[in-house]
Structure 1
Amino acid sequence: MGDRAHPKQPFWASVLQLPLFLLLLGVFSSAMLVPAVYGGMVRDLDAARAFLYAGLLGVVVFALIGLAHAGRDPGHGTLGPLMSLFSAFTVLPAILAVPFYEGLGTTTFLNAYVEMVSAITTTGATLFDDPARLNGTLHLWRSIVGWLGGLLMWIAASAILAPLNLGGFEVTARAEPGRSSSRDIGMSGAEVRMRILKVSSVLIPIYTGLTLLLWVLLAVGGDVGLVALCHAMAILATSGISPVGGLSAAGSGIAGEAVMLLFMLFALSRLTFSTDTTTAESGGLWQDPEFRIGALVVLAVPVFLFLRHFLGAYDVEAERDLLSAGRALWGSAFTVLSFLTTTGFASANWVDAQAWSGLETPGLLLMGLALIGGGVATTAGGVKLLRVFALYRNGVREMERLVHPSSVSSAGPRGRRLQKDGAFIAWIFFMLFALSLALITILLALTGLPFDTSLVLAVSGLSTTGPLLEVAKEVPISLTELNTGAKAIFTAAMVLGRLETLAIIALFTPDLWRG
């Protein structure tokens, strides 16, 4: 009788009561209808039919399970969304791979699954070296999956990872990683759903609006509509997915790259688009440590490369060609920011920088930038700039104590936090990241791959920077040629790099399973 006294909930309120993974299934199944419509418009009927059937089947399954689950409490508090986030990168790609596999018809399901894991984790590594092998419908689906994966991380960072002090928030939080700052270990199911709803209502319009704006600007700049849309989604999601194999085949030229560079700044700091997390307590964008470190790297590294190229060009008197020098400087600046944000787009002038100087820029530099990564709670991967800042501040403080052992830090509450537990936890994460890198490299080498190839694959997967496979070595690495074991290890590396080690360790926290 007590239940009948409650007013009937609206339809959307009932939908939001469903588990997060089921909601993700409904969203991605509905998204399959977009390439289905596009395939019908361009008369790619086989691929369109595959996406239409898979999308409708997914929506029907979502509706049936939703009806069966109606009125039940998802439970598990914070554990449910965290497990759903892990399942989104491991189980959901198997569903997303079905229409891709059926639409292509000339690949194995394992390759389709790895391709979808690469897309949803915003890694952007592809098993199809020749873009012409995939039609526009399949390229659009890869881009949509990567774009939705980036949006998922935008929302999950504030709604799921921040309350548990994971994903970089452990550097500034007062609690231990995997634990809430309050006395309670996490949040109730209702609190989690309300937080996800609130964050989604704010970030989805921003994310969508920025993507549409960049799409229009690239289309005006000369890109074909599909290419402009895929590149716009790739920039916002930092996936580096391109239907034409990179920016060298794009039609927008330097103007398009300049617009992309501005939008890649959103991956340097969450403060560029939101103030909903503890990383945004720095008093403005220009005072934000992540943005300042990122800007410093983007300015310093291209100047270093430019001077290195300039010295190399001195012997051949090519330094008098100012136009080539300008292209070389621009190509370095764009590529450095692209790999720092783990997007992985190489400028069309990146080759000009090497040709102008007669030197080859080592891929080790790009690997280092990808390992540093972008901002906390953004779509970028890597170690993250905030952790680098914490270690830097702690190092400066230790050097001050060597000179003045009795000195007291005057960096303020935030600085003192970063110099103590924040730096300690950042160092722990760095060690876990290094151990993961070493382990994955060894496992890949055990499958028969050369050591340098194994190292590039490990860095690419853990930093979610798939385009490293094409530029880190003199000869691009082909994922298609890898054996099944190597593909499985690389897939695990991508999931580990996207969700991070601390979040996976938090899944084994006993307190999260209680109740």
Structure 2
Amino acid sequence: MAAWFRNLPLFVVLILLSAGAMLIPAAAGMMLGDFRTGRLFFYSSLLVGVGAWLIGIALQAHPRPPTERTHLVAMFAAYLVLPVILSIPMQQAVGNTRFINVYFDMVSAFTTTGAVIFEPDRFGMAVHLWRATVGWLGGLLIWISAMAILAPLNLGGYEVTSEAHVQGRVVSSTQQMRAARPSERLRRSTAKLTPVYVTLTAILAILLMSAGEDPIIATIHAMSTLSTSGISPVAGLEGRPGGILAELLIFLFLFFALSRRTFTSGFGRHFIERVSRDREIRLALFATILVPTLLFARHWMGAWEVDELTDLGAALSALWGSLFTVLSFLTTTGFVSEHWDAAASWSGLGTPGIVLIGLVLMGGGVATSAGGLKLLRVYALYKHGARELGKLIYPHSVAGAGRMGRRIRREGAYIAWIFFMLFIIAMAATMTGLAATGLRFEPAMILSIAALSTTGSLAQVAGEAPIAYVALSDAAKLILAAAMVIGRIETLVLIALFNPAFWRS
């Protein structure tokens, strides 16, 4: 039986896991007294599970050894097809809605975008738990696939530092792929990362409950934090019992979306030293400190004009609101502090959304559940720019930082710039498609960035007025769904997937 499961294709395994995940809201519905929703998810679990089991039996007749290409295709197919399967119980539970709305919501959750298309009071907590579970599983899939599938292929941000050091030797990507079979790497990565992911989520949920939050809401917010989906059953953190303490706990756990080194190398005695030297962590801390400081300085000058310098509480609230929201959008989670409005209005600052747009474009760390351009690529472009400015002053200078530093400044920056241009082209294509559906320039730009950076809540806070996803046309929803998938798996992965040389290798 164990060998039978090991020979199953990755896509079939994902369908079986989806069937098992449906039992979570089924149990929650029964416990909360929502028996109709519990039965719907239980019956859907049986239907999907039996279907996946039959597909697995049919494929066992002619088993094929998995390759990097088949896993990459399965990953791409999962984001396109799996939301259809995930929509089956939710379509029945929500009722009185069209399938495209449910499909859009499931694509949004599975890609950890977290775009809100339904009002929070539209359905019960069991359905909210299902949305958070889908987003949580999507974040786990990114953790595992980045290490087991994308890293050996030098994709997903690994292309910036495509040389790996193993026992003092430089090992090429081809040698890394030959070191273990693709299925074996996938099993090892799953066994290594899943306990960490589950444990961190459970710890945060317990801490939020200790802060006074409702158990099921605390669980959903913990899932949304670790997966950076930003899904909430109560429209965010504003007015919650946990207050600033709950926001502080979420703030601390957002650091796991800044670098893969925060969770892939253990939590031993060298954890602090290792993390403090990480390039992505340093860049993230610089942005997290600099942006709130500038906003606070702007607030302070505005407060000078209205003679509110003595209100220390307002100043601290504005500073915390800026600090939390900046880190939340830098990790593309999208949680907004309940003090963000105070931070934005204290000095009369009109539209701070442009700051949040810049943060989500930077994105979080490589091989994390965050979206955007990724901090390592931004760091490579920065180092290359700093080096070029140095050469203007000292044309014959020789830079240090070792082999890896030179790699990042040269080839890494070159590839990072290519990815940046592909991201801009994808954003322009998405904006053009949305404009063709009748949207104006500003909403089209905000929605395009929100989809490609997997930060759905950007639509509510970036513009002068919130943008309602439910009011969009069907064509606009499909365009945004495709943009979410592209933003999640990244354009370089698509190019590699459709590259003829990759299929012949």
CA distance, structure 1, for counterparts of residue 383 and residue 346 of structure 2? 38
Amino acid at match of 1:371: L
Q: Deviations over 1:404-451 (max 9, x none)?
A: 212222121111001111110000000111111111111101110111
Say if 1:321 and 1:182 are closer, same or farther in 2 by CA, change over 3 A.
closer
State percent identity of aligned pairs: 49
Read off the aligned partner of 1:289 and give its amino acid letter: R
The residue that corresponds to 1:240 in the other structure is: 230
Distance (whole Å) between structure 1 residues aligned to residue 175 and residue 325 of structure 2: 44
Residue 123 (1) aligns with residue 113 (2): yes
Residue matched to 1:348: 338
Q: Is the 8 A contact 2:351 2:462 kept in 1?
A: no
**Aligned partners of 2:373 and 2:420 also within 8 Å:** yes
Q: What code does the residue aligned with 2:369 have?
A: T
Q: Deviations over 1:121-178 (max 9, x none)?
A: 00000211x2111211110000000000000000000000001110000101159xxx
Structure 2 residue corresponding to 1:82, chosen from 60, 72, 77 = 72
Of 149, 153, 157 in structure 2, the residue corresponding to residue 160 of structure 1 is 149
Q: How big is the shift at 1:183?
A: 4.8
Q: Are positions 1:386 and 2:365 aligned together?
A: no
Q: Does 1:195 align with 2:181?
A: no
1:212-258 deviations in Å (ceiling 9; x for gaps): 00000001101111110000000000000000000004221100000
Q: Distance in 2 between matches of 1:495 and 1:394?
A: 30
> 1:72 Cα deviation (Å)?
4.4
CA distance in 2, matches of 1:16, 1:147: 24
Matches within 5 A, 1:82-161: 82-128=72-118, 130-161=119-150
SS at 2:181 equivalent: helix
- Give SS of 1:243's match: coil
Q: CA contact under 8 A between 2:25 and 2:38: conserved in structure 1?
A: yes
Q: In the aligned structure 2, how far is the partner of 1:269 from the partner of 1:437? A: 25
1:358 deviation in Å? 3.2
Q: 1:224 and 2:182 equivalent? A: no
Give 1:496-511 correspondences, 5 Å limit: 496-511=486-501
Distance 1:293 1:21, change over 3 A: same
- Determine if contact 1:185/1:511 at 8 Å carries over to the other structure: no
d(CA) in 2 for partners of 1:74, 1:306: 59
| Consecutive unaligned residues in structure 2, runs of 5 or more | 165-170
1:411-450 aligned at under 5 Å gives the runs 411-450=401-440
* Aligned residue identity for 1:37: A
What's the TM-score once normalised by structure 2's chain length? 0.95
Question: How far apart, CA to CA, are the structure 2 residues paired with 1:282 and 1:404?
Answer: 36
Counterpart for residue 285 of structure 2: 295
Residue 187 of structure 1 and its aligned partner are, at CA, apart by: 5.7
Distance 1:411 1:211 in 2: 37
1:170-201 deviation digits (Å, cap 9, x = unpaired): 101159xxxx944579669x711100110111
- How far, CA to CA, are the matches of 1:76 and 1:346 in structure 2? 42
CA 187–447 in structure 1, closer or farther in 2 if over 3 Å, else same: farther
1:260 and 2:250 are equivalent in the alignment: yes
How far, CA to CA, are the matches of 2:466 and 2:221 in structure 1? 21
Partner of residue 441 from structure 2, selected from 434, 437, 451: 451
Cα distance in 1 for residues equivalent to 2:23 and 2:437: 39
Counterpart of 2:7 in structure 1 is 17
| Aligned equivalents of 2:116, 2:399: Cα separation in 1 | 49
Q: 1:364 aligns with which of 354, 357, 362?
A: 354
Q: Is the 8 A contact 1:318 1:356 kept in 2?
A: no
Report Cα offsets for 1:316-374 as digits up to 9, x if no partner.
11121001110110000000000000000000111121343233342111011001000
8 Å CA contact retained: 2:303, 2:309: yes
| Match among 484, 487, 493 for residue 494 of structure 1 | 484
Q: How many residues align?
A: 496
Deviation sequence 1:450-507 (CA, Å, 0-9, x none) = 1100000000000000000110112111111111110111001100000000001111
* One-letter amino acid of the counterpart of residue 207, structure 2: L
Q: Which amino acid aligns with 1:435?
A: I
Per the alignment, residue 468 of structure 1 pairs with 458
Tell me which amino acid in the other structure corresponds to 1:77: T
Alpha-carbon distance between aligned partners in 2 of 1:379 and 1:182, rounded to the nearest angstrom: 23
Are residues 268 and 339 of structure 1, via their aligned partners in 2, closer, same or farther at CA, if it must alter by over 3 Å?
A: same
* SS of 1:150 mapped into structure 2: helix
User: Which residue number in structure 2 is paired with residue 6 of structure 1?
Assistant: none
* Alpha-carbon distance change, 246 to 382 in structure 1, aligned in 2, over 3 angstroms: same
Aligned to 2:54, the other structure's residue is in SS state helix
